[in-house]
Chains A and B, each alone.
Chain A
Amino acid sequence: MSSATPSLVGRVLRRIEIDVRLLGMLSALALIALAFNRASDGVFLTPRNLYNLAVQSSVVGVMACGMVLVIVSRHIDLSVGSLLGFAGMLAALLQVDGLLAGSRLSWPSASLIALACGGLIGAAQGWWIAYRGVPAFVVTLGGLMIFRGSAYLLTDGRTVAPLDPGFERLGGGIEGSIGVGPSWALAGVAIIVIALLTLRTRAERRRHGVTVPPLWAEAIRVGLPVLGVLAFVAVMNAHTLPRSDVGRGLPIPVLVLIAVGSSMHVVSRATRFGRHVYAMGGSPTAAARAGIDLRRVTLVVFTAMGLLAGIAGVLTSARLGAGTNSMGTLSELAVIAAAVIGGTSLAGGVGSVAGAVLGAVVMQSLENGMVLLGISSAVRQVGIGAVLVLAVWLDTVWTRRGDAL
């Protein structure tokens, strides 16, 4: 119909079956990076700055992976910043004052308890939303206040420090990366996995007699991420430890983001649960009439979101080396903005995990770049706010034209 005369570029992109929106976002990110690099006389694109940027993006990135599903299912979660603060404080407090304090199991057990608490709190909120019919906006607005207050009550407002050096590695500081060799090894594993998955998909489609994309298209589809992986690891390895030429390799929080991102990607795209989340967002009545249990889906979505906020809390206190009361303040807004910049529609039904992670990186690049240029925090806020509106506007224009592409 509307695609009767697609342009050459459009036809090629369709053949490759690459997400056009994702490609657009990558280009935008590249433009931002080049512009900041120029303005900062080449500081922005140094390995050191990119390493910091990656670490800074991971906390919001981890939560954005869950926020996509929340928003896709037509809900919202305003509590994630406070939940991050509560979980981070709990992890800090338990390793210093908990039953196992002093033992080697202290920080791992404290972290696990913090994660479990995040998941349980998420489930509790999901239960109020799904089974008690209180709108998500209200439940999580209440949660925003409740968990911020609870975090304060945990220590009567005291900052908890110092923390276990083992725990602090999770934050990606000087000890917080895995080194050059293991990083290359992981890159190798990632590439093999990408290649195997592609080959398997091709084989399956052939077996069922469904068309497979031409080899050149597949090569581009596999080639781009492979190049991305190699370039990323090369940059992380190029950033050296202080006063040495020993490369750092992948930072642990970034590894966490990669693990969370790939799992959530698979969950959202390749499982029945993920399919049901999107169906529910596209049309709740259609989903219900197809026998999908919307309440159960909602409960699971919020449980996952809580768990991810717990992970983000652990990463944050590890990075700060302390449990503080301000951890995660306003980060719910950064997370929602990341998801939305990454192409998640607030109307529900549309959004991707990869887009949300990219959105987090875009937001953090703007912040990081403006800091490099010595721009005040007030002006940074104005800038990022404007970009948020602009990005969503561009996306609607893009989507409207999308058919004609």
Chain B
Amino acid sequence: MTAARVALCGVSKAFGGVVAVDAVNLELTAGEVLGLLGHNGAGKSTLVKMLSGADPCDRGEIRIDDQPVSIRTPRDARRLGIETIYQDLALADNLPVPANVFLGRERTTRFGRLDEAAMERATRDVLERLNPALSDLHRPVGQLSGGQRQSVAIARALLFEARVLIMDEPTAALGPQETGQVAEQIERLKGEGIAILLVSHDLHDVFDLSDRIAVLKNGRLVGHGPREALSRERVLEMIIAGSVVGGDLPPR
């Protein structure tokens, strides 16, 4: 069996008395989409922040390609090839597209001057794959539509050869057509061998896109299995009641 791209081994995080994530074991494989579901407050965003370095875990271990790693800051995560697309996209609305795509990783020339031409070129190349209709890169991203903004956020993740892509509620703010676009983009990324973690509180957002489903409740992993083995009703039951399904659970 090949090693998982990312493995969470008993990770926990508490805020004061509240245990937001409680000893969770989870694996992500290359070229696979894992749907992470759960009610509001289940601990999904906290789990995402552990992986993205926004808020490191208290206990447990994160392994990448079977190597234990330490993720304390967003920089650490990016260095390990973990890219995160946050629910609010985390774009600077006042800046144009290339500036957002390269935010925090700007390319410079020898004398420390921003290399705008190179950044624009690279941005165009990625966007051509993702959203060819988006061609006016000089406008501030605040003026773009929801779907275009989503493409900018995805472009940012792709440009740096993400090996792991985390998307927190990727379609929550989009219309049906744009949701379709994102679904296409996810399929394409999967084909490129990226491990994708899709996070949502809404079953319908992720069910069809996921290869595997995991359900969190009160910080604990209450269900986990390949999508074919699960029905929507079954997953809904896990989300609401927190009943643990047997058989497909990873060894504890």
Contacts and interface: CB of A to CB of B under 8 A. Distances in A.
Contacts of A283: 90-94
Interface in A61-77: none
A52 to B, nearest CB: 37
Q: Chain B contact residues (Cβ within 8 angstroms of A): what range?
A: 35 or more
A209 B121 contact: yes
A69 B52 CA distance: 29
Interface string A288-323: 111110000000000000000000000000000000
A278 B95 contact: yes
A270 B86 CA distance: 28
B92 A291 contact: no
A285 B143 contact: no
Contact of A272 (B94, B106, B118): B106
Interface residues of chain A: helix, strand, loop or mixed (majority): helix
B114 interface: yes
Contact of A278 (B94, B121, B124, B143): B94
A15 to B, nearest CB: 12
Given A204-B117, A272-B114, A282-B92, A288 B99 contact: no
Interface string A271-288: 110011011011101111
A349 B91 CA distance: 12
B93 A282 contact: yes
B121 A286 contact: no
A2 B136 CA distance: 12
A349 B104 contact: no
Interface string A211-254: 00000000000000000000000000000000000000000000
Contacts of A209: 121
A158 interface: no
Nearest to B86: A289
B117 A205 contact: yes
A401 interface: no
A286 B90 contact: yes
A282 B120 CA distance: 20
B98 to A, nearest CB: 10
Given A289-B52, A289-B74, A275 B99 contact: yes
Interface residues of A, number: 32
Given A290-B74, A349-B94, A403-B143, A279 B121 contact: no
Interface in B105-155: 105-106, 108, 112-118, 120-121, 124, 138, 143, 145
A17 B137 CA distance: 13
Given A209-B121, A272-B114, A291-B104, A350 B75 contact: no
Contacts of B92: 278-279, 282-283, 286-287, 349
A210 interface: yes
Given A271-B114, A286-B103, A1 B95 contact: no
Contacts of A1: 143, 145
B212 interface: no
A212 B124 CA distance: 15
Central interface residue in B78, B93, B104, B112, by most chain A CB within 10 Å: B104
A208 interface: yes
A114 B76 CA distance: 41
Contacts of B54: 289
A210 B114 CA distance: 15
A207 interface: yes
Contacts of B103: 275, 279, 286-287, 290, 292
Central interface residue in A209, A287, A288, A290, by most chain B CB within 10 Å: A290
Interface string A106-140: 00000000000000000000000000000000000
B114 A270 contact: yes
Interface string A4-33: 000000000000010000000000000000
B73 interface: yes
Contacts of B74: 288-291
A208 B95 contact: no
A350 B94 contact: yes
Interface in B40-55: 52, 54
Nearest to A286: B90
B94 A290 contact: no
B15 to A, nearest CB: 18
B84 interface: yes
Given A272-B114, A282-B92, A282-B93, A291 B99 contact: no
Contacts of A208: 117-118, 120-121
Interface in B74-90: 74-75, 78, 84, 86, 88-90
Central interface residue in A286, A288, A349, by most chain B CB within 10 Å: A286
A291 B91 contact: no
Interface in B155-187: none
Nearest to A212: B117
Contacts of A289: 52, 54, 74, 84, 86, 90
Given A208-B117, A270-B114, A289-B86, A281 B94 contact: yes
B217 to A, nearest CB: 27
B94 A275 contact: no
Nearest to A350: B94
A174 to B, nearest CB: 40
A209 B52 CA distance: 34
Given A282-B92, A291-B73, A292-B104, A210 B117 contact: yes
A272 B88 CA distance: 24
A281 to B, nearest CB: 7
Nearest to A274: B114
14 contacts: A208-B120, A210-B117, A270-B113, A272-B108, A285-B90, A286-B90, A286-B91, A286-B103, A287-B104, A289-B90, A290-B104, A291-B74, A291-B105, A349-B94
- The 3 A-B residue pairs whose C-beta atoms are closest, nearest first, are A290-B104, A282-B92, A282-B94
Given A1-B145, A291-B74, 6 more contacts: A210-B120, A279-B103, A282-B93, A285-B88, A289-B52, A291-B75
